[in-house]
Amino acid sequence: MVVKILIPYNFKPNDEKAVHYTGQRYRREKEVEITLFHAFASVPEINVKNNTIMEKMKLNIYYLRQQREERRQAMEKVRGVLVDYGFASQNVHCLFQPIKTDIAADIIQLWKLENFNVVVLNRNPGNILNYFSRSISKRLTQCSDGVINVHIVN
């Protein structure tokens, strides 16, 4: 059986822990497919012609697009880390896409659509937002119903 692993990645130090955990935990498995997943806020297309206020936003939009491209390149480096653990290059994928609904819902939809059987998450300690809203890890574990293994790395 192929182990299909999804690693949501948001360029935080704990995300690196999730990658290394995956590398150490699954490198001896024979058939492993890994997908690194990053969802980003899309940059709107804005017509800036003949509008001085919108012209000022042009620089900010350019910066956001440049940052998105830098993250795409950084994700390829993370992919290389997994290949260095011994996973076949053709079995390590990067999925870089705009947020459709919210991060948790996008992850849940992705693992159901692509039939992942493992999700490796990190935990962001001290995140005040999780106090007010349900964390991604809680939402995923509640939706998993034992169908998928959810590993939460501290």
CATH number assigned to the domain comprising residue 104: 3.40.50.620
Considering just the CA atoms, what is the radius of gyration of the chain in Å?
A: 18
Q: Could you give the number of structural domains in the chain? A: 1
- How much is the pTM? 0.81
In a domain, 58, yes or no: no
Q: Kindly give the confidence (pLDDT) of every residue in the chain, 154 residues in length, as a single tens digit, with 9 standing for 90 and above.
A: 899 999 999 888 888 999 999 999 999 998 999 999 999 887 767 666 667 776 677 777 788 889 989 999 999 999 999 999 999 999 999 999 998 888 888 988 898 899 999 999 887 655 544 444 457 777 777 776 666 787 888 7
Alpha-carbon distance 8 to 121, whole Å?
A: 6
In a domain, 126, yes or no: yes
Domain that holds residue 33: 3-43+72-153
In a domain, 48, yes or no: no
